[in-house]
Structure 1
Amino acid sequence: MDEKDTNRLEAFSDGVFAVAITLLVLDIKLPYADSSGKLLGNSELWQAIFEQWPMLLAFVTSFFTIGIMWLNHHRIFKHIKHSDTSLVFLNIILLMLIVFIPVPTALLVEYITHPELNTAALLYSGTFFAMALCFNLLWRYASYKGRLLGQQVDMDGVNKISRQYLFGPLVYIIALAIAWINTPASLIFNLLLAIFFALPDTPMKPGKKDQDPQLPMSESV
Protein backbone atom coordinates (compact mmCIF):
# COMPACT_ATOMS: atom_id res chain seq x y z
CA MET A 1 0.00 0.00 0.00
CA ASP A 2 1.30 3.48 -0.82
CA GLU A 3 2.51 5.67 2.04
CA LYS A 4 -0.04 8.32 1.07
CA ASP A 5 -3.25 7.20 -0.65
CA THR A 6 -5.68 9.86 0.60
CA ASN A 7 -4.87 12.55 -1.99
CA ARG A 8 -8.18 12.25 -3.86
CA LEU A 9 -10.16 12.29 -0.63
CA GLU A 10 -8.34 15.44 0.52
CA ALA A 11 -8.79 17.18 -2.84
CA PHE A 12 -12.52 16.41 -2.86
CA SER A 13 -12.84 17.60 0.74
CA ASP A 14 -11.06 20.88 -0.04
CA GLY A 15 -13.54 21.48 -2.85
CA VAL A 16 -16.53 20.95 -0.55
CA PHE A 17 -15.07 23.28 2.08
CA ALA A 18 -14.57 25.92 -0.62
CA VAL A 19 -18.16 25.57 -1.84
CA ALA A 20 -19.59 25.77 1.71
CA ILE A 21 -17.62 28.87 2.60
CA THR A 22 -18.60 30.52 -0.69
CA LEU A 23 -22.31 29.82 -0.18
CA LEU A 24 -22.19 31.92 2.97
CA VAL A 25 -21.41 35.03 0.93
CA LEU A 26 -24.50 34.58 -1.25
CA ASP A 27 -26.74 35.36 1.73
CA ILE A 28 -25.17 38.80 2.23
CA LYS A 29 -27.48 41.34 0.64
CA LEU A 30 -26.78 44.92 1.74
CA PRO A 31 -29.40 47.57 0.90
CA TYR A 32 -28.30 50.42 -1.37
CA ALA A 33 -31.61 52.06 -2.33
CA ASP A 34 -34.89 53.01 -0.68
CA SER A 35 -38.32 51.69 -1.61
CA SER A 36 -38.55 54.15 -4.52
CA GLY A 37 -35.24 53.00 -5.99
CA LYS A 38 -33.32 56.12 -4.99
CA LEU A 39 -29.75 55.54 -3.88
CA LEU A 40 -29.17 55.98 -0.17
CA GLY A 41 -27.02 58.82 1.05
CA ASN A 42 -23.85 58.25 3.05
CA SER A 43 -25.48 58.43 6.47
CA GLU A 44 -28.49 56.38 5.37
CA LEU A 45 -26.23 53.74 3.82
CA TRP A 46 -24.11 53.42 6.97
CA GLN A 47 -27.27 53.08 9.04
CA ALA A 48 -28.64 50.44 6.68
CA ILE A 49 -25.37 48.50 6.85
CA PHE A 50 -25.33 48.69 10.64
CA GLU A 51 -28.87 47.34 10.76
CA GLN A 52 -27.60 44.23 8.98
CA TRP A 53 -25.37 43.28 11.94
CA PRO A 54 -27.16 39.97 12.56
CA MET A 55 -26.38 38.80 9.03
CA LEU A 56 -22.76 39.99 9.16
CA LEU A 57 -22.17 38.45 12.60
CA ALA A 58 -23.63 35.13 11.52
CA PHE A 59 -21.50 35.22 8.35
CA VAL A 60 -18.28 35.89 10.28
CA THR A 61 -19.05 33.15 12.82
CA SER A 62 -19.85 30.51 10.19
CA PHE A 63 -16.92 31.57 7.99
CA PHE A 64 -14.41 31.23 10.81
CA THR A 65 -15.91 27.94 11.98
CA ILE A 66 -15.70 26.39 8.51
CA GLY A 67 -12.19 27.80 8.10
CA ILE A 68 -11.01 26.29 11.39
CA MET A 69 -12.60 22.97 10.47
CA TRP A 70 -10.72 23.02 7.17
CA LEU A 71 -7.48 23.77 9.02
CA ASN A 72 -8.05 20.84 11.39
CA HIS A 73 -9.01 18.57 8.49
CA HIS A 74 -5.77 19.51 6.73
CA ARG A 75 -3.73 18.86 9.87
CA ILE A 76 -5.10 15.42 10.70
CA PHE A 77 -4.56 14.27 7.13
CA LYS A 78 -0.89 15.03 7.59
CA HIS A 79 -0.99 12.01 9.89
CA ILE A 80 -3.61 9.89 8.09
CA LYS A 81 -1.70 8.16 5.30
CA HIS A 82 -4.20 5.50 4.22
CA SER A 83 -7.95 5.30 3.64
CA ASP A 84 -10.65 2.68 3.56
CA THR A 85 -14.40 2.63 2.93
CA SER A 86 -15.33 3.51 6.51
CA LEU A 87 -12.99 6.49 6.60
CA VAL A 88 -14.39 7.78 3.31
CA PHE A 89 -17.95 7.35 4.64
CA LEU A 90 -17.18 9.25 7.85
CA ASN A 91 -15.52 11.99 5.82
CA ILE A 92 -18.60 12.26 3.57
CA ILE A 93 -20.84 12.70 6.63
CA LEU A 94 -18.53 15.43 7.91
CA LEU A 95 -18.61 17.19 4.53
CA MET A 96 -22.41 16.93 4.44
CA LEU A 97 -22.56 18.83 7.73
CA ILE A 98 -20.01 21.38 6.51
CA VAL A 99 -21.93 22.18 3.33
CA PHE A 100 -25.19 22.35 5.34
CA ILE A 101 -23.91 25.19 7.55
CA PRO A 102 -25.15 28.02 5.25
CA VAL A 103 -28.75 26.78 5.79
CA PRO A 104 -28.96 27.26 9.58
CA THR A 105 -26.85 30.40 9.18
CA ALA A 106 -29.45 31.99 6.89
CA LEU A 107 -32.25 30.83 9.19
CA LEU A 108 -30.52 32.23 12.27
CA VAL A 109 -30.22 35.65 10.62
CA GLU A 110 -34.02 35.88 10.47
CA TYR A 111 -34.50 34.93 14.13
CA ILE A 112 -31.52 36.46 15.94
CA THR A 113 -33.48 39.57 16.88
CA HIS A 114 -36.20 37.40 18.45
CA PRO A 115 -34.46 35.82 21.49
CA GLU A 116 -37.68 34.15 22.59
CA LEU A 117 -37.72 32.03 19.40
CA ASN A 118 -34.78 29.67 19.81
CA THR A 119 -35.35 26.91 17.26
CA ALA A 120 -33.02 28.52 14.69
CA ALA A 121 -30.29 28.97 17.31
CA LEU A 122 -30.66 25.35 18.43
CA LEU A 123 -30.35 24.13 14.84
CA TYR A 124 -27.29 26.35 14.30
CA SER A 125 -25.44 25.24 17.44
CA GLY A 126 -26.66 21.67 16.96
CA THR A 127 -25.09 21.58 13.50
CA PHE A 128 -21.75 22.67 14.99
CA PHE A 129 -22.05 20.03 17.71
CA ALA A 130 -22.76 17.30 15.15
CA MET A 131 -19.84 18.54 13.07
CA ALA A 132 -17.42 18.43 16.01
CA LEU A 133 -18.70 14.98 16.99
CA CYS A 134 -18.27 13.65 13.46
CA PHE A 135 -14.78 15.11 13.28
CA ASN A 136 -13.88 13.26 16.47
CA LEU A 137 -15.26 10.00 15.04
CA LEU A 138 -13.23 10.49 11.87
CA TRP A 139 -10.00 11.05 13.77
CA ARG A 140 -10.56 8.28 16.29
CA TYR A 141 -11.42 5.77 13.60
CA ALA A 142 -8.27 6.60 11.66
CA SER A 143 -5.99 6.77 14.71
CA TYR A 144 -7.24 3.66 16.55
CA LYS A 145 -4.11 1.58 17.08
CA GLY A 146 -2.57 3.70 14.32
CA ARG A 147 -4.31 1.63 11.64
CA LEU A 148 -4.54 4.39 9.01
CA LEU A 149 -1.62 6.52 10.17
CA GLY A 150 1.95 6.64 8.95
CA GLN A 151 4.45 4.00 9.98
CA GLN A 152 6.63 6.42 11.93
CA VAL A 153 3.85 8.16 13.85
CA ASP A 154 4.25 8.70 17.60
CA MET A 155 1.24 7.12 19.33
CA ASP A 156 1.77 9.19 22.48
CA GLY A 157 1.31 12.29 20.34
CA VAL A 158 -1.73 10.74 18.67
CA ASN A 159 -3.32 10.03 22.05
CA LYS A 160 -2.65 13.63 23.09
CA ILE A 161 -4.49 14.92 20.02
CA SER A 162 -7.40 12.55 20.75
CA ARG A 163 -7.72 13.93 24.28
CA GLN A 164 -7.69 17.49 22.95
CA TYR A 165 -10.42 16.74 20.41
CA LEU A 166 -12.75 15.64 23.20
CA PHE A 167 -12.97 19.30 24.15
CA GLY A 168 -14.81 20.32 20.97
CA PRO A 169 -18.14 18.47 21.40
CA LEU A 170 -18.22 19.39 25.09
CA VAL A 171 -18.07 23.14 24.49
CA TYR A 172 -20.65 22.91 21.71
CA ILE A 173 -23.00 21.29 24.22
CA ILE A 174 -22.58 24.51 26.20
CA ALA A 175 -23.42 26.44 23.03
CA LEU A 176 -26.59 24.38 22.69
CA ALA A 177 -27.56 25.19 26.28
CA ILE A 178 -27.01 28.90 25.66
CA ALA A 179 -29.06 28.68 22.45
CA TRP A 180 -31.96 27.36 24.50
CA ILE A 181 -31.80 30.49 26.67
CA ASN A 182 -30.74 33.32 24.37
CA THR A 183 -30.28 33.38 20.58
CA PRO A 184 -27.85 36.36 20.23
CA ALA A 185 -25.72 35.08 23.12
CA SER A 186 -25.41 31.66 21.47
CA LEU A 187 -24.16 33.23 18.24
CA ILE A 188 -21.59 35.31 20.09
CA PHE A 189 -20.48 32.23 22.04
CA ASN A 190 -20.00 30.27 18.81
CA LEU A 191 -17.93 33.15 17.42
CA LEU A 192 -15.75 33.15 20.54
CA LEU A 193 -15.26 29.39 20.14
CA ALA A 194 -14.11 29.88 16.54
CA ILE A 195 -11.64 32.55 17.67
CA PHE A 196 -10.42 30.35 20.52
CA PHE A 197 -9.81 27.37 18.25
CA ALA A 198 -7.89 29.65 15.87
CA LEU A 199 -5.39 30.69 18.54
CA PRO A 200 -1.96 29.07 18.08
CA ASP A 201 -1.30 28.34 21.75
CA THR A 202 -4.10 27.79 24.25
CA PRO A 203 -4.29 25.66 27.41
CA MET A 204 -6.00 22.89 25.44
CA LYS A 205 -3.25 22.76 22.81
CA PRO A 206 0.40 21.69 23.16
CA GLY A 207 2.94 24.48 23.43
CA LYS A 208 5.90 24.66 21.08
CA LYS A 209 8.22 22.84 23.43
CA ASP A 210 5.68 20.00 23.86
CA GLN A 211 5.09 19.33 20.18
CA ASP A 212 6.42 16.19 18.60
CA PRO A 213 8.25 16.97 15.32
CA GLN A 214 6.10 14.37 13.55
CA LEU A 215 2.84 15.70 15.02
CA PRO A 216 2.26 19.40 14.29
CA MET A 217 0.17 21.39 16.73
CA SER A 218 -3.50 20.42 16.59
CA GLU A 219 -6.66 22.40 17.26
CA SER A 220 -9.58 21.18 19.34
CA VAL A 221 -12.80 20.74 17.39
Structure 2
Amino acid sequence: MSRPSDDIGTRSDTSRAVAFSDAVFAIVITLLVLDLRVPEVPPGHLLSGLLGQWPSYAAYLASYTYVAVVWLNHKGAFNRVKESDRGLHWVNLFVLFTTALLPFPTAVVSHALQEHDQQDQRVAVAFYALIGALLCASWLAFFHYLARRADLLAEEASERHFPAERIRALVGVILYAAAGLIGYLVAPLAGMVIFVVLPVFYALTSAGLHQVPLVHRIAHRPPTSGR
Protein backbone atom coordinates (compact mmCIF):
# COMPACT_ATOMS: atom_id res chain seq x y z
CA MET A 1 0.00 0.00 0.00
CA SER A 2 1.34 3.40 -0.94
CA ARG A 3 2.05 5.69 1.99
CA PRO A 4 3.29 9.26 1.62
CA SER A 5 6.29 10.37 3.66
CA ASP A 6 5.61 12.75 6.55
CA ASP A 7 9.11 14.19 6.34
CA ILE A 8 10.58 14.60 2.86
CA GLY A 9 13.97 15.17 4.50
CA THR A 10 14.17 11.46 5.29
CA ARG A 11 14.06 10.58 1.58
CA SER A 12 17.12 10.19 -0.65
CA ASP A 13 18.18 8.40 -3.79
CA THR A 14 19.57 4.88 -3.46
CA SER A 15 23.12 5.56 -4.65
CA ARG A 16 24.74 5.82 -1.21
CA ALA A 17 22.90 2.77 0.14
CA VAL A 18 23.94 0.69 -2.88
CA ALA A 19 27.58 1.88 -2.78
CA PHE A 20 27.88 1.19 0.95
CA SER A 21 26.26 -2.22 0.56
CA ASP A 22 28.58 -3.20 -2.30
CA ALA A 23 31.57 -2.26 -0.16
CA VAL A 24 30.32 -4.47 2.69
CA PHE A 25 29.76 -7.42 0.35
CA ALA A 26 33.27 -7.01 -1.09
CA ILE A 27 34.80 -7.00 2.40
CA VAL A 28 32.80 -10.06 3.47
CA ILE A 29 33.93 -12.06 0.44
CA THR A 30 37.53 -11.02 1.09
CA LEU A 31 37.29 -12.16 4.71
CA LEU A 32 35.98 -15.57 3.63
CA VAL A 33 39.17 -16.43 1.77
CA LEU A 34 41.35 -15.69 4.80
CA ASP A 35 40.37 -19.06 6.28
CA LEU A 36 42.16 -20.81 3.40
CA ARG A 37 45.75 -21.34 4.54
CA VAL A 38 48.84 -23.24 3.44
CA PRO A 39 48.77 -26.55 5.37
CA GLU A 40 51.52 -27.11 7.93
CA VAL A 41 52.88 -30.48 6.81
CA PRO A 42 56.35 -32.05 6.57
CA PRO A 43 58.15 -32.03 3.19
CA GLY A 44 56.60 -34.42 0.69
CA HIS A 45 53.10 -34.28 2.23
CA LEU A 46 51.75 -31.12 0.63
CA LEU A 47 49.19 -32.96 -1.50
CA SER A 48 47.72 -34.84 1.44
CA GLY A 49 47.72 -31.61 3.45
CA LEU A 50 45.82 -29.77 0.73
CA LEU A 51 43.32 -32.60 0.35
CA GLY A 52 42.88 -32.76 4.10
CA GLN A 53 41.63 -29.18 4.09
CA TRP A 54 38.57 -30.06 2.01
CA PRO A 55 36.18 -28.81 4.74
CA SER A 56 37.66 -25.33 4.32
CA TYR A 57 36.97 -25.47 0.58
CA ALA A 58 33.40 -26.71 1.09
CA ALA A 59 32.65 -24.04 3.70
CA TYR A 60 34.19 -21.35 1.50
CA LEU A 61 32.15 -22.48 -1.51
CA ALA A 62 28.90 -22.48 0.47
CA SER A 63 29.50 -19.02 1.96
CA TYR A 64 30.95 -17.42 -1.18
CA THR A 65 27.97 -18.60 -3.20
CA TYR A 66 25.64 -17.33 -0.48
CA VAL A 67 27.21 -13.86 -0.48
CA ALA A 68 27.17 -13.81 -4.30
CA VAL A 69 23.45 -14.58 -4.27
CA VAL A 70 22.85 -11.94 -1.59
CA TRP A 71 24.56 -9.42 -3.88
CA LEU A 72 22.40 -10.50 -6.84
CA ASN A 73 19.24 -10.22 -4.75
CA HIS A 74 20.32 -6.86 -3.41
CA LYS A 75 21.03 -5.54 -6.91
CA GLY A 76 17.70 -6.85 -8.19
CA ALA A 77 15.81 -5.29 -5.30
CA PHE A 78 17.38 -1.84 -5.56
CA ASN A 79 16.88 -1.81 -9.34
CA ARG A 80 13.18 -1.64 -8.46
CA VAL A 81 13.55 1.11 -5.84
CA LYS A 82 13.56 4.77 -6.86
CA GLU A 83 14.37 6.27 -3.46
CA SER A 84 15.15 5.31 0.12
CA ASP A 85 13.73 6.41 3.44
CA ARG A 86 14.86 5.86 7.03
CA GLY A 87 12.99 2.58 7.36
CA LEU A 88 14.51 1.13 4.21
CA HIS A 89 17.98 2.12 5.37
CA TRP A 90 17.46 0.25 8.63
CA VAL A 91 16.21 -2.98 7.04
CA ASN A 92 19.06 -2.75 4.53
CA LEU A 93 21.53 -2.38 7.41
CA PHE A 94 19.96 -5.47 8.98
CA VAL A 95 20.69 -7.41 5.78
CA LEU A 96 24.29 -6.15 5.81
CA PHE A 97 24.66 -6.99 9.52
CA THR A 98 23.66 -10.61 9.00
CA THR A 99 25.72 -10.96 5.81
CA ALA A 100 28.82 -9.67 7.61
CA LEU A 101 28.43 -12.48 10.18
CA LEU A 102 29.00 -15.21 7.58
CA PRO A 103 32.83 -15.45 7.80
CA PHE A 104 32.58 -16.40 11.49
CA PRO A 105 30.34 -19.51 11.17
CA THR A 106 32.23 -20.43 7.99
CA ALA A 107 35.49 -20.58 9.95
CA VAL A 108 33.77 -22.45 12.80
CA VAL A 109 32.42 -25.14 10.43
CA SER A 110 35.76 -25.47 8.62
CA HIS A 111 37.67 -25.90 11.87
CA ALA A 112 35.18 -28.36 13.38
CA LEU A 113 35.11 -30.60 10.31
CA GLN A 114 38.90 -30.79 10.24
CA GLU A 115 39.12 -31.65 13.94
CA HIS A 116 36.91 -34.74 13.44
CA ASP A 117 34.96 -34.30 16.68
CA GLN A 118 31.39 -35.36 15.95
CA GLN A 119 29.75 -33.26 18.65
CA ASP A 120 31.65 -30.12 17.66
CA GLN A 121 30.72 -30.73 14.02
CA ARG A 122 27.04 -30.95 14.94
CA VAL A 123 27.21 -27.71 16.92
CA ALA A 124 29.15 -25.94 14.13
CA VAL A 125 26.62 -26.93 11.45
CA ALA A 126 23.72 -25.87 13.68
CA PHE A 127 25.46 -22.54 14.31
CA TYR A 128 25.97 -21.95 10.56
CA ALA A 129 22.30 -22.79 9.99
CA LEU A 130 21.29 -20.28 12.66
CA ILE A 131 23.21 -17.48 10.91
CA GLY A 132 21.81 -18.57 7.53
CA ALA A 133 18.26 -18.49 8.87
CA LEU A 134 18.92 -15.08 10.45
CA LEU A 135 20.15 -13.75 7.10
CA CYS A 136 16.99 -15.02 5.39
CA ALA A 137 14.93 -13.41 8.17
CA SER A 138 16.63 -10.08 7.44
CA TRP A 139 15.59 -10.42 3.80
CA LEU A 140 12.06 -11.24 4.93
CA ALA A 141 11.99 -7.93 6.84
CA PHE A 142 13.50 -6.13 3.83
CA PHE A 143 10.96 -7.51 1.36
CA HIS A 144 8.07 -7.01 3.77
CA TYR A 145 8.97 -3.35 4.17
CA LEU A 146 9.09 -2.75 0.41
CA ALA A 147 5.88 -4.74 -0.12
CA ARG A 148 4.16 -2.14 2.07
CA ARG A 149 5.91 0.92 0.63
CA ALA A 150 4.91 1.12 -3.03
CA ASP A 151 5.68 4.86 -2.92
CA LEU A 152 9.41 4.00 -2.79
CA LEU A 153 9.31 1.80 -5.88
CA ALA A 154 10.12 2.68 -9.47
CA GLU A 155 7.12 3.07 -11.76
CA GLU A 156 8.07 0.03 -13.83
CA ALA A 157 8.38 -2.23 -10.77
CA SER A 158 5.71 -4.90 -10.49
CA GLU A 159 3.50 -4.62 -7.42
CA ARG A 160 3.65 -8.41 -7.11
CA HIS A 161 7.42 -8.61 -6.89
CA PHE A 162 8.16 -7.85 -3.24
CA PRO A 163 5.11 -9.66 -1.80
CA ALA A 164 6.27 -12.75 -3.70
CA GLU A 165 9.85 -12.28 -2.54
CA ARG A 166 8.71 -12.72 1.05
CA ILE A 167 7.94 -16.34 0.14
CA ARG A 168 11.54 -16.89 -1.01
CA ALA A 169 12.88 -15.45 2.21
CA LEU A 170 10.53 -17.52 4.35
CA VAL A 171 11.54 -20.68 2.47
CA GLY A 172 15.15 -19.87 3.35
CA VAL A 173 14.36 -19.46 7.05
CA ILE A 174 12.59 -22.82 7.09
CA LEU A 175 15.21 -24.71 5.07
CA TYR A 176 18.19 -23.36 6.99
CA ALA A 177 16.44 -24.28 10.24
CA ALA A 178 15.81 -27.76 8.81
CA ALA A 179 19.47 -28.03 7.73
CA GLY A 180 20.58 -27.14 11.24
CA LEU A 181 18.31 -29.78 12.78
CA ILE A 182 19.42 -32.41 10.27
CA GLY A 183 23.07 -31.51 10.75
CA TYR A 184 22.78 -31.65 14.53
CA LEU A 185 20.47 -34.64 14.96
CA VAL A 186 21.35 -36.80 11.92
CA ALA A 187 24.66 -36.04 10.18
CA PRO A 188 26.71 -32.81 9.91
CA LEU A 189 27.59 -33.48 6.27
CA ALA A 190 23.90 -33.72 5.37
CA GLY A 191 23.44 -30.20 6.68
CA MET A 192 26.48 -29.05 4.70
CA VAL A 193 24.93 -30.41 1.50
CA ILE A 194 21.84 -28.27 2.11
CA PHE A 195 24.06 -25.23 2.71
CA VAL A 196 25.63 -25.71 -0.74
CA VAL A 197 22.33 -26.42 -2.52
CA LEU A 198 20.26 -23.57 -1.05
CA PRO A 199 22.25 -20.75 -2.71
CA VAL A 200 21.63 -22.50 -6.05
CA PHE A 201 17.89 -22.09 -5.50
CA TYR A 202 18.35 -18.41 -4.68
CA ALA A 203 20.63 -17.93 -7.68
CA LEU A 204 18.03 -19.40 -10.03
CA THR A 205 15.32 -17.17 -8.56
CA SER A 206 17.44 -14.03 -8.08
CA ALA A 207 15.34 -12.10 -10.64
CA GLY A 208 12.25 -12.82 -8.54
CA LEU A 209 10.15 -15.87 -7.79
CA HIS A 210 7.46 -14.84 -10.27
CA GLN A 211 10.13 -14.68 -13.02
CA VAL A 212 10.93 -18.42 -12.75
CA PRO A 213 9.44 -20.02 -15.91
CA LEU A 214 7.45 -22.71 -14.10
CA VAL A 215 6.05 -20.30 -11.50
CA HIS A 216 5.33 -17.73 -14.22
CA ARG A 217 3.36 -20.27 -16.28
CA ILE A 218 1.34 -21.39 -13.24
CA ALA A 219 0.59 -17.81 -12.20
CA HIS A 220 -0.56 -16.86 -15.71
CA ARG A 221 -2.42 -20.05 -16.55
CA PRO A 222 -5.96 -19.15 -17.65
CA PRO A 223 -8.63 -20.53 -15.31
CA THR A 224 -10.39 -23.64 -16.53
CA SER A 225 -14.14 -23.50 -16.69
CA GLY A 226 -15.88 -26.10 -14.56
CA ARG A 227 -18.51 -28.31 -16.05
8 Å CA contact 1:122–1:180 kept in 2: the answer is yes
Cα distance in 2 between the residues matched to 1:174 and 1:205? 25
Matched with 1:24 is: 32
Report the TM-score, using the length of structure 1 for normalisation: 0.81
1:163 aligns with 2:164: no
Unaligned runs of 5+ in 2: 1-7, 218-227
Question: Please, what is the CA RMSD of the aligned residues?
Answer: 2.4
The one-letter code matched in structure 2 to 1:62 is: S
Q: 1:114 is matched with which residue: 109, 113, 117?
A: 117
Range 69-78 or range 166-175, more displaced: 166-175
The one-letter code matched in structure 1 to 2:140 is: N
List per-residue Cα deviations over 1:93-118 (Å, max 9, x = no partner).
21111111111111111212323232
Cα distance in 1 between the residues matched to 2:168 and 2:20? 26
Deviation at 1:189, TM superposition (A): 1.4
List per-residue Cα deviations over 1:180-221 (Å, max 9, x = no partner).
2222221221011122322369xx66335939xxxxxxxxxx
List per-residue Cα deviations over 1:59-114 (Å, max 9, x = no partner).
11111111111111111111122211121111112111111111111111121232
Cα distance in 2 between the residues matched to 1:109 and 1:163? 30
How has the CA–CA distance of structure 1 residues 80 and 29 changed in structure 2, closer, same or farther, with 3 Å as cutoff? same
Matched with 2:211 is: 206
How has the CA–CA distance of structure 1 residues 22 and 4 changed in structure 2, closer, same or farther, with 3 Å as cutoff? same
Report the TM-score, using the length of structure 2 for normalisation: 0.79
Range 67-76 or range 118-127, more displaced: 118-127
Range 66-75 or range 141-150, more displaced: 141-150
List per-residue Cα deviations over 1:15-60 (Å, max 9, x = no partner).
00000010011111122652xxxxx33xx22211110011111111
1:77 aligns with 2:85: no
8 Å CA contact 1:30–1:52 kept in 2: the answer is no
Matched with 1:37 is: none
Matched with 2:56 is: 55
Paired positions, count:
201
Q: Which has the higher helix share?
A: 2
Matched with 1:217 is: none
How has the CA–CA distance of structure 1 residues 31 and 141 changed in structure 2, closer, same or farther, with 3 Å as cutoff? same
Deviation at 1:170, TM superposition (A): 1.9
8 Å CA contact 2:143–2:163 kept in 1: the answer is no
The one-letter code matched in structure 2 to 1:146 is: A
Write the mapping of 1:100-111 to structure 2, written as runs, cut at 5 A: 100-111=101-112
Cα distance in 1 between the residues matched to 2:205 and 2:144? 23
1:183 aligns with 2:191: no
| 1:59 match: secondary structure | helix
Range 73-82 or range 15-24, more displaced: 73-82
Matched with 1:94 is: 95
Cα distance in 1 between the residues matched to 2:27 and 2:36? 16
| 2:81 match: secondary structure | coil
Deviation at 1:155, TM superposition (A): 1.3
Deviation at 1:127, TM superposition (A): 0.4
Cα distance in 2 between the residues matched to 1:200 and 1:138? 17
1:132 aligns with 2:140: no
| 2:75 match: secondary structure | helix
The one-letter code matched in structure 2 to 1:105 is: T
